[in-house]
Every structure is written in structure tokens, then in C-alpha cells.
Structure 1
Amino acid sequence: MKRPKVSLINLANMLTAFRILSVPFLVYLISIDSGPPGLAGDYGKIVAMFLATAAGITDFVDGLVARRLQVETKLGKFLDPVADKLLVCSLFVLFVADGFVAPWILIVMLFREFLILGLRMHMASEGAVLGASNWAKFKTIFQVSAVVAILLVRSLQVLALSGVMTVAWVSMIYYYQVTQALILVSLLFSVVSGAEYFMEHWHVFKRG
């Protein structure tokens, strides 16, 4: 029995679109001072943390929704990892400027992401879709977790400097260590998943 045609405008794709559309708002909230100069009163950073958390949740929900409602589309399979790259790469660039992420980590990560994006686009031109491997899914989980953890640290800094929470300084030190661990683990999964993609699809490059 032939499967009925699935509309491109469905809940799963809308969740993915939300993740993409959240990126410019996150970049804006993280980049500007929403209060006086400095972090004190800069509650935009806290809004960014909640928005990033919501965007991260959609990353785990959209695929589940697509499978449960049987609304999987080639567009959705293509846009889902692209949305992840836009979200993570854009924010990691800002985190390098803030000193949370070492520049060499960003370089390795961007190199891997652009190579895989090129592979994905090449396969798409041939009518094939490069899905996310298990290693890549773990990479995304740790990257998104690192993003939320870093924004949590910034939010705690805002609350501490604003005099709202005195214990925030202690929490901030603890969560800073957590962010560094998450970043390093995500980098490991990034390298491993990238190598896996190329070993499995090396024939694409040999074919030209």
C-alpha cells in the first residue's frame, strides 16, 4: 500500500523551524547588554538561557513527533541537522569571545561541521539523505547541554552581580567546570562521528 503524501507543513518541521528562528534572537540576547553596562541587571542572558533550553528540547522532540505521527519528510531530515549546526555554531562563536570555549575547539568543530554539511549537500543533490548517526546524536546532546550550561553560568553571574543571589557565585564555579566537561565530551563525539561519516560514505568522494 502506497504511503500517503506527507505535507511539509507539519508539527515536526515547525519545531525544527522554531529552532532555526530562535538563533538570531539568541545571538541578539547574548550579544547585547539588556541592562546597565556589565552583567548586573542583564536579564536578557536569563531569557537566552530559557530560549536555548526550549530550542534544545525541540531537537529531541521533532524527530519523535515525526515518527509517532508518521510525518517524516526528506526536508525535515535535511533541516534537522542544519538547525543544530546553526544553533550550536552561532553560539559557540559567541562563547569563544566570552572565554568559555577555546578557539581551537571551535576551529575543530567548525571544520567537522562544514565537511559533513558538504557531504550532506552532495548526497542531497543525488537524491539521498544523510541521516544522523548515533555518535552524531550523542554529539548534539552534549553540545546543546553545553550551550544551556554556559548560559546558566552567565545567568548565575547576572543574578550574583545584581544582588539577587549570593550563593550564585558558588554555583557558577561548579557549573563552569560542568560546561568544560560537556564541551570536551562533545568535541570527542564530534571527531568520532565525523570520522564515522567519512568511512561509511567514502565511496561518494571516490565517485566524485
Structure 2
Amino acid sequence: MNLPNKLTVLRIIMVPFFVFFMLTDTGGAANKWIALVLFCIASLTDLLDGKIARKYNLVTNFGKFMDPLADKLLVCSAMICMIESGQLSAAFVIIIIAREFIISGFRLVASDNGVVIAASYWGKFKTVSQMAMVILLIADFGGAFDLVCEALIWISLALTIISLVDYVAKNRQVLTQGGM
């Protein structure tokens, strides 16, 4: 397993620890900051694995499939935790997760036909906006940052919908190839 794939696996392993610190009070006030550090490190592994894979020609089918899945697991877990804290509405999170299930379904159908679909730029923009939103929501600085968080919530939602439409439009042949 190459380094980018190891970073992807590390990101997946970090998710339960992140969720633990988001949802428990074991460490008191430090939990928020521990969760924030874990989320930031996991988010950085996403940036690093892609850069390393492209720079050293280490792109693999495992990475093309698991990297976006690891991102979804990290970001969706964070957003689900934020429903409980009242920072995000369930409707918002349901829309985000529905998009992820639709894209995952497309990837599974494509995979059955021997096709691996890499993430698009719209999907990458969506992921970055969601990660930035999560970071600011966890940090909860208040004041003007509340407006920034609100803007990022709406930007994330818009990019979620745009990336879904783009993805389906660019890959609609997957549905016809699969005998559906």
C-alpha cells in the first residue's frame, strides 16, 4: 500500500476518535479542541494524499474509490454530530448525505462495469467548503464568525447540489451501461 492510500486509511481510522470527542464530555472543555485538531489533521491528509499521488504518479483505483469515501465519512460524521449540538439542521445534513449516497451509487454501478470515476473539481470544491464550515462550526468563535459560518453553510449546500448535477450529467452513461 502506497503512502497516499495509507493517508486515506488513516483518515478513516481517525473518524471514530473525532466523533468520540465531539459527542462525549470525557475531556471537558478540551473535547471541542481535541475534536477540532483531529478534524484538521484528517482534512490535511485529504490534501496531502492527492498531492502526493499526483506528484509521484501513485494514483490507484483504491485511492480513486476510497479517498472520496473517506472524505464523506469524515464530513458526514461531523455534520451528524452538529445536529445534536444544534449547529446544523437535520434537513441540511439529509440533503448532503443524500447527495453522497447518490454519488456512491453511481460509483458502484460504474465499478460493476469496470469503470472507476474520480472526483470532479465541483466535488472537491464542495468538500473543501464543507471542511471549512465544519472547522469554523467546531471552533465556534462567535461574533462575525457566525456570519461566516452561515455563509459557508449556504455555500456548501449550493456546491453540494451543483456537484451532484455536474456528476450525474457527466456520468449518465453509467446508468445505460449498467443495463438499468
TM-score range, shorter chain: over 0.9
Displacement of 1:202 after TM fit? Answer: 1.5
Displacement of 1:115 after TM fit? Answer: 0.5
Displacement of 1:176 after TM fit? Answer: 2.5
Task: Letter of the 2:94 partner, please give it.
Answer: I
Q: What is the count of residue pairs matched by the alignment?
A: 178
Unaligned runs of 5+ in 1: 1-8, 36-40, 154-170
What is the TM-score when the length of structure 1 is the normalising length? Answer: 0.82
Displacement of 1:58 after TM fit? Answer: 1.1
Which ranges of 4 or more aligned residues in structure 1 deviate by more than 6 Å? Answer: none
Pick from 8, 15, 23 the counterpart of residue 7 of structure 2. Answer: 15
Cross-structure match for 2:99: 112
Give runs of aligned pairs for residues 36-47 of structure 1, distance below 5 A. Answer: 41-47=28-34
- Bigger radius of gyration, 1 or 2? 1
Pick from 97, 100, 103 the counterpart of residue 90 of structure 2. Answer: 103
- CA–CA distance in 2 between the matches of 1:94 and 1:111? 17
Instruction: Describe the SS at the equivalent of 2:142.
Output: helix
Task: Letter of the 2:95 partner, please give it.
Answer: V
Give the CA RMSD over aligned residues.
Answer: 1.2
Cross-structure match for 2:139: 152
Cross-structure match for 1:199: 169
1:128 matched to 2:120: no
- CA–CA distance in 2 between the matches of 1:19 and 1:67? 18
Cross-structure match for 2:74: 87
Pick from 27, 35, 54 the counterpart of residue 41 of structure 2. Answer: 54
Cross-structure match for 1:178: 148
- CA–CA distance in 2 between the matches of 1:98 and 1:137? 26
In percent, how many aligned pairs have the same letter?
A: 37
1:74 matched to 2:61: yes
Displacement of 1:96 after TM fit? Answer: 1.1
Q: Give per-residue Cα distances to partners, 1:46-97, cap 9 Å, x unaligned.
A: 1110111111111111111011122111001100100011001111111011
Cross-structure match for 2:16: 24
Unaligned runs of 5+ in 2: none
Task: Letter of the 1:111 partner, please give it.
Answer: A
